[in-house]
Amino acid sequence: MIIPSLDFISGKIVRLYQGNYNHKTYYEIDIFKQIDHYIKQGAKHIHLVDLDRCKNPSNNQKHILKIISHYNEITFQVGGGIRSQKDVEDLFNVGVSKIVIGTSAILYPDDFKLWLDKYGCNNFILALDIKINRDNEKKIAIHGWKNITNINLESAINDFLPYGLKNILCTDISRDGTFLGPNINLYKNLKKKFPNIILQSSGGISSLADLYHLKKNNIEHVIIGRAFLEKKFTFLEAQKCWQKE
For 34-55, the pLDDT digits (tens) are 999 999 999 999 999 888 776 6
Residue 21 confidence (pLDDT): 66
End-to-end CA distance of the chain: 12
Rounded to the nearest angstrom, the gap between the alpha carbon of residue 197 and the centroid of all alpha carbons in its chain is 15
Specify the pTM: 0.91
pLDDT at res. 22: 65
Amino acid at 52: D
pLDDT at 63: 80
Per-residue pLDDT, 4: 97
- Residue 71's contacts (CB-CB under 8 Å, 6 or more residues apart) are 35, 39
Count the neighbouring beta carbons within 10 Å of the beta carbon of residue 71.
15
**Residue-number span of the structural domain to which 187 is assigned:** 2-244
d(CA 110, CA 116): 10
Active site residues: 7, 129
Q: Which amino acid is at 122?
A: N
What pLDDT sits at residue 167?
98
SS3 163: helix
Q: Per-residue pLDDT tens, the chain, 245 aa: give them.
A: 999 999 888 778 887 765 666 677 888 889 999 999 999 999 999 999 888 776 666 666 778 888 898 998 899 999 988 889 999 998 999 899 999 999 999 999 999 999 999 999 999 999 999 988 888 889 998 876 678 889 999 999 999 999 999 999 999 988 877 788 899 999 999 999 999 999 999 988 999 999 999 999 999 999 999 999 999 999 999 999 998 75
Q: In angstroms, how far is CA 62 from the centroid of its own chain? A: 20
Q: What is the pLDDT of residue 17?
A: 65
Residue 155 has φ and ψ, to the nearest 5°, of -65, -35
Q: Could you give the number of structural domains in the chain?
A: 1
Q: Please give the angle made by the CA atoms of 213, 171 and 69, to the nearest 5 degrees.
A: 105
> Residue 61 sits in a domain of what CATH number?
3.20.20.70
Q: Name which of 202, 230, 186 is nearest 19 in CA terms.
A: 202
